[in-house]
Structure 1
Amino acid sequence: MDGKKNDTANEPDLEYTNHSYADYLTWQMEEVVELIKGKIFKKAAAVPRRIHQRISIKLAAKLDYFLEKKPCQVYDAPFDVRFPKSSKDDKKIHDVVQPDICVICDPEKLDERGCIGAPDLIVEILSPGNSKTELKHKFELYESNGVREYWIIHAETQDLLIYSLINEKYVPSLLFTSGDVVESKVIEGFKLDLEEFFWDIE
């Protein structure tokens, strides 16, 4: 029985739609995967593009510097965020994602394996490989679980869209582009000058 379990652990069924976090922990895969409603989604690329990584590192560094000596903490991928429903038991968690960047202000949500519960802010940096299906599922996941602010950065066009959670529904901002200064409503006082931020990213 143990041997059979190990075989399936190494090669999870991509079409199966009821995988749990307990299953996820047993997999040994070269690709980075996420679970949304129990279904496996492969990240856009096992090795993100250089521009993607540059944006991620710069933004995470700015957030980390701003949040120094504040209760909120910033993390970048790989970092598991689990969204429990009725129970925090690993076998009953079917939503596990690795946002590019997230900010958590409640230390009770942090453990040695990452975050359990909704981060206050999530940032996803889009690359050409991101699918519309993946984006739709993540939007619904973050909205339904109470992620208060969701930033989507388009690496290719260097613009930014913010979804703010109002009355349990996401309300989109205007599309921010070079010349705009973006301000977070969740991380009070944090501002991002897009022209300054993107000037050396190409």
Structure 2
Amino acid sequence: MIINATDLKNNLGKYLRAAEREDIIITSNGRKVARLSAYGDEAYSAEQPPLVRELVEAYCQFPRKATYEEFLQLSENSEERYEYIDGEIYLLASPKTTHQQVLGELFGIFYTWFRGKKCRPMLAPYDITLKRDLENINVVQPDLMVICDLEEKLNEKDYYMGVPALMIEILSESSRGKDSVRKLDLYMSTGVKEYWIVNPFNKEVTVFLFENNDVLKNTTYKKDESISSYTFEGLEVSLSSIF
């Protein structure tokens, strides 16, 4: 059976049951990119490693840790957006309206404040590659980031390979744990200076200042308060302007 990735995503249960009877080939943009097989099927060859044993898992998280090369193969052959953190692959769900409204307000404020300055704000989707060490390579797509060395850190393929000075994540139901724990640790450990966690559910923003792979300061802003950046003096955002 041959189906496309969108059909799989929309009819997951149906194809999981069907995979117990026969292999299912998944296509993207008309190309065969993966196979969904019953667990225990050893039909994969050395030339075609088991990148996706059950593609359903890739739509939330891989069933096992993947190599950086496997992540690149998956992301390059898919129309979906993924993040890769400490060997685990996450599908980025389509953001909801509240998320996009908050992001739009924040970007507007940042765009105006940074206009004419060396540092510039950038929006997702935009891959950021962060290395804990030479072996532990991670790829994330923050909702909003501030980059101060864009021209110096572009590679030959026009991808940014530096570390943003400031990262912002807007929480959603599916990303609370990842953004609040895993990304906080990743950003703290890879040279990001400042991290904002924006919580639209309780209309709060927590700002972290990192130094020497640790949290130097953190402040949570509530109600009608104004957020003050630790890194960029004079950058302030009132909560009432984004919520």
Shorter-chain TM-score bucket reads: 0.7 to 0.9
Per the alignment, residue 99 of structure 1 pairs with 142
Q: Letter of the aligned partner of 2:148 in structure 1?
A: C
Shift of 1:194: 1.1
Does structure 2 conserve the Cα–Cα contact (< 8 Å) formed by 1:109 and 1:117?
yes
Distance in 2 (CA, whole Å) between partners of 1:56 and 1:193 is: 14
> How many residues of Structure 1 are paired with residues of Structure 2 in the alignment?
190
2-side partners of 1:85 and 1:136: how far apart?
A: 16
Structure 1 match to 2:119? 72
Of the three residues 89, 94, 97, the one matched with 1:40 is: 89
AA in 2 matched with 1:195? S
Instruction: Name the structure 1 match of 2:240.
Output: 195
Shift of the 152–30 alpha-carbon distance from structure 1 to 2, 3 Å rule, reads: same
Name 2:200's counterpart in structure 1: 155
CA drift at 1:175: 1.9
CA distance in 2 between counterparts of 1:179 and 1:110 reads 39
Structure 2: state its 5+ residue gaps: 1-44
Partner of 1:26: 73
Q: In the alignment, which of 115, 125, 128 is matched to residue 81 of structure 1?
A: 128
The AA in structure 1 aligned to 2:64 is Y
Partner of 1:174: 219
Please name the residue that 1:50 is paired with. 97
Matched, 1:184 2:229: yes
Residues 121 and 150, structure 1, Cα contact 8 Å, conserved in 2: yes
Q: Are the counterparts in 2 of residues 101 and 123 from structure 1 also a CA contact under 8 Å? A: yes
Could you tell me which residue of structure 1 aligns to residue 65 of structure 2? Answer: 17
Amino acid at match of 1:52: H
Q: Which has the higher contact order (CA 8 A, sep 6+)?
A: 1
Percent same amino acid among aligned pairs? 27
What corresponds to 1:4 in structure 2?
Answer: 48
What is the letter of the counterpart of residue 91 of structure 2?
K
TM-score for the superposition, normalised by structure 2: 0.68
Give the 3-state SS of the residue equivalent to 1:106 in structure 2: coil
Cα RMSD for the two superposed structures: 2.7
TM-score by length of 1: 0.81
Matched residue of 2:220: which SS?
A: coil
Bigger radius of gyration among the two: 2
1:155/1:30 Cα in 2 relative to 1: closer, same or farther (>3 Å)?
A: farther
Deviation at 1:85, TM superposition (A): 4.8
Which whole-Å CA distance do the structure 1 matches of 2:227 and 2:71 have between them?
36
CA contact (8 A) 1:147 1:165 kept: yes
